[in-house]
Structure 1
């Protein structure tokens, strides 16, 4: 990655706070099957790394389970606390998690691992997990096998440089074991307004120049008005690995 690409990635990673409201309204939840596959039922302390506004956190709740959310953006933490006032949320990143050694059974990172530096984040996650603990990485991605979703994707790529598709999963190595993968296909019901918020909350859209962002959103609105989708099809991409005992 060039220096210019690194600067753009850093700018996009830090952009979410200004669009926290749109993020909360437009981003989808996570399907229960994907959550069950990612987090063992017996996990008593679960960390949601890069928690955003708590989209995944809500699905992680279980009787007797302690949740801790870690989020670098002040704007996102503020929105998180409005939605989930009873869940502890702390400032931190994958490279610097403000939790004690061996304090968590599972750490889940949804929509965020591609922002971290794995060389620093992997040992930091290993420090926080108990021996035998699990690291799970999750992404919701739009199902572009559906024609209108593929058209939406083309519009976005005409205007915006999406973050790298590199999930950096292959860079999760020792002291973690082999990485397993499972995909889950599902659809999320949404309104036109929620779809527009979903687009507006993308980091690569937030960071566009205002006139160009408005032009993009106008084209997306024209597509939506023509197709009138009632749901967004997703593939939830899940990975899990366990820390060596």
Structure 2
């Protein structure tokens, strides 16, 4: 498993954790989020769960990852800043405490794994890693993971054009994104790894990658789109314009498409005291 190189001359990535209002906007439609967002590869869940049963799920949302870890035999505690998301997770049987991870009080509790699915970019990478080192047992694992999806080129171009037209002021400027989604995410992976190094107390960070694909019909993709961070705060009239434009593009492709996913984890194990 390759380790992640330190960030050298790589251009600076966006710092989503500065956009806390976006991070806490997903609960505006928590039921849709839980219904539409994809789950995580079982191989990833099993690999992390093999390290021990006590799991802390950071930015646990509606409990999508937490329930998968429960299914693998783990005891899971979630930490989630949005009470609306936390309440839905509780309805699904996940124990959740409402707090930002940086300010959460672990009250002396320790865990075998600290995980974050689609959430670590909303957390300060150094402060988050320091907190993770504080609560992990020796040999415990910090694993932040993301779904990287690659739309078919025809749909990617059409969707980007709709975004530029409807929301040119978005801080997540799609004009700046290269064609390969992994190129965008690699800067974020590197930032997460650098946070672990800066915190201290961790082994050299690694990347784990799991490739898979999923078929979407028009309605399924339009159900998921409003849960994306660049759309959660969009006014209803503009969101309707986005969905209409993207829906028309999918109709022109025959009503559906296959999405290529790579689920990538940035992960390291606890080796000693954190520096913070």
- Shorter-chain TM-score tier: 0.7 to 0.9
- Contact kept in structure 2, 1:96 and 1:121, CA below 8 Å: no
Tell me how large the CA RMSD over aligned residues is: 2.5
Deviates more, 1:214-223 or 1:224-233: 224-233
Could you give the per-residue CA deviations for residues 201-240 of structure 1, whole angstroms, max 9, x where no partner exists?
1121121233322211111111222222254321111111
Matches within 5 A, 1:103-122: 103-122=110-129
Please give the alpha-carbon distance, in whole angstroms, between the structure 2 residues aligned to 1:152 and 1:101: 50
Instruction: Name the structure 2 match of 1:242.
Output: 269
**Structure 2 partner of 1:58:** 67
Task: State the distance in 2 between where 1:76 and 1:25 align.
Answer: 13
Q: Deviation at 1:81?
A: 2.0
Rate the CA distance shift 1:95–1:217 in 2: closer, same or farther, 3 A.
Answer: same
1:162 aligns with 2:172: yes
Q: What is residue 3 of structure 2 aligned with on the other side?
A: none
CA distance in 2, matches of 1:50, 1:106: 14
- Asked if the contact 1:28/1:188 (under 8 Å) is kept, the reply is no
User: How far off its partner does 1:134 sit?
Assistant: 0.5
TM-score by length of 1: 0.86
Q: Secondary structure at the match of 2:43?
A: helix
Q: Which residue of 2 aligns with 1:95?
A: 102
Unpaired runs of at least 5, structure 2? 1-14, 174-183
Q: 2:30 — aligned with what?
A: 20
- What residue in structure 1 maps to residue 243 of structure 2? 217
Distance 2:115 2:128 in 1: 13
Shift of 1:191: 4.2
Deviation by residue 1:49-69 (Cα, 9 ceiling, x = unmatched): 111111211221256521111
Offset, 1:13? 1.2
- Structure 1 segments unaligned to the other structure (5+ residues): none
Deviation, 1:45, is 0.2
Residue aligned with 2:256, SS: coil
Deviation at 1:28, TM superposition (A): 0.5
Counterpart mapping for 1:42-81 below 5 A: 42-62=51-71, 64-81=73-90
Secondary structure of 1:106 counterpart:
strand
- Specify the SS of the correspondent of 1:204: coil
Which moves more between the two structures, 207-216 or 153-162?
Answer: 153-162
How many positions carry a matched residue from both structures?
237
Q: Kindly state the Cα deviation for residue 190 of structure 1 after the two structures are TM-superposed.
A: 4.1
Specify the alignment match of 1:178 in structure 2.
204
1:30 maps to which residue?
40
Distance 1:156 1:14 in 2: 25
TM-score calculated relative to the size of structure 2: 0.77
Contact 1:70 1:89 in 2 (8 A): yes
Deviation at 1:23, TM superposition (A): 0.8
Paired residue for 2:10? none
